[in-house]
């Protein structure tokens, strides 16, 4: 699977956004812009938007997980608003992803991402989505854009630190809504 056009949502020289809320808003806007460009077949614009948005996603996951790590040390963590927000279902997860799942995922055409047929799908919680995004394999990312501009991101995460290979997916707008709730809880 070529990595072209799949880096939706690492813009190396861009300044980091000042706030998490701003970053989430910008990802949502980037998703809409990406969908518009993709549907119009303006591939250079879609690629540029994708690179910018992935930089924002990296910022979001780093900051929310940093807050989680800080607050999880407090006695009031269990049942706290952030701990509850991080348990929100945002998508689907194949965990563990078999070699067959991986090959099927890699064989998908760009823009035609899906969960491999026959795989056991589990719930992807926000906390897991953030961790999987952090450790995603940058050359195994895919997406779908529906005619009504619903944007779903699919990505592979390599095994590491005792965890198996996984494939994750989420609707970008649902992910952004869950992140907004987490930010309010911080």
Q: Between 87 and 50, whose confidence is greater?
A: 87
Q: Would you say residue 8 lies in a domain?
A: no
| Average pLDDT, integer, range 1-12 | 46
Q: With respect to residue 9, please indicate whether it lies within any of the assigned structural domains.
A: no
- Domain assignment present for 6: no
In a domain, 54, yes or no: yes
Mean pLDDT value across the chain:
89
Task: Answer yes or no: is 139 within a domain.
Answer: yes
Mean pLDDT within 134-160: 89
Instruction: Answer whether residue 26 is part of any domain.
Output: yes
How many structural domains does the chain have?
A: 1
Domain with 79, as residue range(s), is 20-185
Query: Which pLDDT value is given to residue 11?
Result: 45
Does 55 reside within a domain?
yes
Residue 13 forms part of a structural domain: no
The percentage of residues in the chain with a pLDDT greater than 70, rounded to a whole number, is: 90
Task: Give the burial string for 45-84 (b: 16+ CB within 10 Å, else e).
Answer: ebbbbbbbbbbbbbbbbebbbebbeebeeeeeeeeeebbe
Please write the tens of the pLDDT for every residue from 69-115: 999 999 999 999 999 999 999 999 999 999 999 999 999 999 999 99
């Amino acid at each position: 699977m070529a990595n072209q056009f799949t880096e939706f949502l690492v813009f190396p020289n861009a300044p980091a956004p000042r706030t998490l809320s701003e970053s989430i808003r910008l990802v949502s806007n980037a998703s809409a812009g990406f969908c518009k460009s993709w549907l119009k077949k303006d591939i250079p614009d879609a690629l540029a938007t994708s690179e910018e948005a992935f930089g924002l996603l990296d910022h979001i996951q780093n900051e929310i997980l940093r807050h989680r790590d800080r607050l999880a040390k407090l006695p009031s963590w269990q049942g706290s608003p952030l701990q509850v927000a991080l348990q929100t279902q945002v998508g689907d997860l194949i965990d563990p992803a078999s070699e067959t799942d991986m090959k099927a995922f890699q064989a998908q055409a760009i823009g035609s991402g899906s969960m491999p047929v026959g795989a056991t799908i589990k719930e992807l919680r926000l906390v897991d989505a953030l961790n999987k995004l952090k450790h995603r394999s940058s050359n195994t990312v895919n997406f779908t854009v529906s005619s009504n501009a619903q944007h779903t991101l699919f990505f592979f995460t390599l095994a590491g630190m005792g965890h198996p290979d996984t494939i994750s997916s989420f609707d970008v707008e649902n992910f952004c809504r869950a992140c907004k709730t987490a930010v309010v809880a911080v």
